[in-house]
Amino acid sequence: MTNEPSGRPGPRRPAFFGPTAMEAQGGTVPDPAQVTEIAHETAAVLVGTGRANDDPALTARLVALVDELGLVTVAELWADRPARSLPGALWRLYALREWVQRSPDEASADYAAGIRFTDVNHAVAGVAEPPGPAELRDLTDAILRGVFAGDLAVALQRAAAFCRVVAAGRADRADTTDAHDREAAGQQTRRAASMLSTAEDLEAGARLWHVGELT
């Protein structure tokens, strides 16, 4: 596998039909093997199309894919694929962007709380200072632009660094919360662990892309 386009014309934009959407259209749900094939093919087509075209308008549309299709459709397509695969990595990047878009205050609070524990990852993520809601929205958009118009491995590394800062912030906020709400603190701790796991998967995806094995 090669990570760069072959020079052939870019493929057409794929049709995104998850099982629910297909049933709504009167179609039948494909078997699991077909679902797997569709997930990986659409991810490859999406990335290949974006990287083969030097078109800022197309890149902007791909960055905002969830805005057009809805998170449920994208989840049906990619969320069940292994985390360390191309569709799995794309799902995590879009889910991160959607979280920041929908909960910018929470995201910025988590991130700000984590900076002092992991300043190296803060530098790698590359968020503008001070890292408020608008800056985090810009960051997640920039990360996805890097998938289609930059170094995809760097985009994954930036996303992983972002997740590590957020995980540190959630853990710190859990400690603060524990004194008066143990249940909420436990939930924050679990969410911190989940974000840390996402960071590890994205870092692994970056390594796989470097050697041509992120498929």
Q: pTM of the full predicted structure?
A: 0.85
* Buried-state track 126-155, b at ≥16 Cβ within 10 A, e below 16: ebeeebbbebbbebbbbbbbbbbbbebbbb
pLDDT (tens digit per residue) in 140-181: 999 999 999 999 999 999 999 999 999 999 999 888 766 678
Judge whether residue 25 has pLDDT over 70.
Answer: no
Residue owning tokens 């879009």: 94
Q: Is residue 151 part of a domain?
A: yes
Q: Is residue 9 part of a domain?
A: no
Least Cα distance to 13 among 81, 79, 70, 59 occurs for 59
Q: Is residue 215 part of a domain?
A: no
Q: Is residue 206 part of a domain?
A: yes
Judge whether residue 184 has pLDDT over 90.
Answer: no
pLDDT (tens digit per residue) in 65-95: 999 999 999 999 999 999 999 999 999 999 9
Q: Is residue 131 part of a domain?
A: yes
pLDDT at site 10: 37
Exposed / middle / buried, residue 124 (Cβ in 10 Å: 0-12, 13-18, 19+): middle
Q: Is residue 23 part of a domain?
A: yes
What are the angstrom distances between the C-alpha of 107 and each of 15, 66, 137, 190? Answer: 31, 18, 9, 16
Q: Is residue 4 part of a domain?
A: no
Task: Look up the domain containing 191 and give its range.
Answer: 19-210
- Number of domains comprising the chain: 1
Q: Is residue 201 part of a domain?
A: yes
